[in-house]
Homo-oligomer: A and B are copies of this chain.
Amino acid sequence: MEKTKVALLGAGFIGDIHLESYRRFVPEAEVTAVFSGTERRAEEFARQHKIPRWFTSIDELLKHADCEVVDIGIPNFLHASVAEAAARAGKHVIVEKPLCMRLEEADSMAETCRQANKKLMYAEQLCFAPKYERVRHLIQEGAIGKPYLIKQSEKHSGPHSDWFYDVDRSGGGVLMDMGCHALGWFRWMLGRPAAKSVYATMDTVLHKGRTRGEDQSIMIVEFENGVTGLAEDSWARHGGMDDRVEVYGTEGVSYADLFMGNSALTYSQRGYGYAAEKAGTTQGWTFSMFEEAFNQGYPQELRHFVECVREDREPLVTAADGRAVLEMIYAAYHSARTGAKVPLPFTAKVKKPVDLWHQPDLQGAVT
């Protein structure tokens, strides 16, 4: 069996997770190259993980790396241009959430990949997380009747890398970074109904000195099928990663908790190495998580994409999904400024989504 060759762009947090996922759970793929902007990091990552080649230039990688797939795990502001360059270089593309920074980019990415006849997958791994998939199947079986309220929340104490806090590179704060999970997952769970409106409120409560992005947000989405979505996201919640869903229907309800619900519960006087993502102290009581990549759906997602590439099938989660999510993010930032529910479809000409929240003079830009 010939393996599908993958080049990893990004050697940080998500790069680690993707590499582990390919290696342990996607036997059809092999990682043949890695890119990092920092030479030392690129080299070390390659050596540590026995990846044949490493690059500090994406152009060079696209020219010289032996790969069919480019896996984009670099800061948000680079997603669109790199995805397009990769497609033009004849590579299939999988791009970490959020799809890109601007709606125009989303359209352009989709178009470029279509013309190049290359696959473009939007990497929303919650669509593959086994516990949440279990909930989706329950609902499809009719276990809870007709859904009317769907909730997802994702909270921790703040991201690893600096660029998340720099809105010029990230496009926004926690809504951009983690709110996109809720929005993509709502669509997935409900069979991609159109969204009618978005309302959002947000604030910067913990990282005020560090970012102009929000670190706390609540979003309410009304879908055309009558279901209400409630998304809560935070970079200001201590005590380890929190990722939970609730789906309410006319005949029942289903709850799932990805981290604390799955974990072992441990009391340690002296503490230990690692409890879970962003867990803080490991002394006293902790929720000791395990198989985090598998439980969050990363390997299932990557394997799905590799199969799509090998069998020439369309990925289940596409640029259209990423675009729809981004449109709701735009609307959410706009709503946070205006204090009103924003009807969809919505578009605006901005440099980055968060501008719709904190730059009042951009109001004229909204069409």
Contacts and interface: CB of A to CB of B under 8 A. Distances in A.
Contact of A248 (B25, B222, B236, B339): B236
Contact of A290 (B131, B268, B286, B290): B131
A38 interface: no
A201 B229 CA distance: 11
A196 to B, nearest CB: 10
A40 B285 CA distance: 38
Contacts of A222: 201
Interface in A247-303: 248, 250-256, 261-262, 264-273, 280-291, 294
A307 interface: no
A149 B130 CA distance: 30
Interface in A108-133: 130-131, 133
Interface string A55-73: 0000000000000000000
Contacts of A218: 220, 228, 230
The A interface is mostly helix, strand or loop, or mixed, namely: mixed
Contacts of A251: 238, 268-270
A142 interface: yes
A239 interface: yes
Contacts of A270: 142-143, 145, 251-252
A320 interface: no
A82 interface: no
Nearest to A270: B251
Contact of A252 (B141, B148, B238): B238
Interface centre among A252, A272, A286, A291, by most chain B C-beta atoms within 10 angstroms, is A252
A238 B266 contact: no
A143 B268 contact: yes
A273 B143 CA distance: 8
Contacts of A358: none
Given A130-B290, A239-B285, A264-B256, A216 B25 contact: no
A218 B288 CA distance: 27
Contacts of A248: 234, 236-237
A138 B230 CA distance: 28
B252 A239 contact: yes
A317 interface: no
A144 interface: yes
Interface centre among A237, A294, A340, by most chain B C-beta atoms within 10 angstroms, is A237
A232 interface: yes
A287 B239 CA distance: 13
A273 B134 contact: no
A220 B201 contact: yes
Contacts of A239: 252-253, 267, 284-285
Contact of A288 (B138, B201, B206, B266): B138
Given A197-B339, A201-B199, A250 B206 contact: yes
A339 B340 contact: yes
A271 B145 CA distance: 10
- Nearest 10 CB-CB pairs, A to B? A239-B267, A27-B27, A339-B341, A143-B272, A134-B290, A284-B284, A340-B340, A256-B264, A285-B285, A148-B205
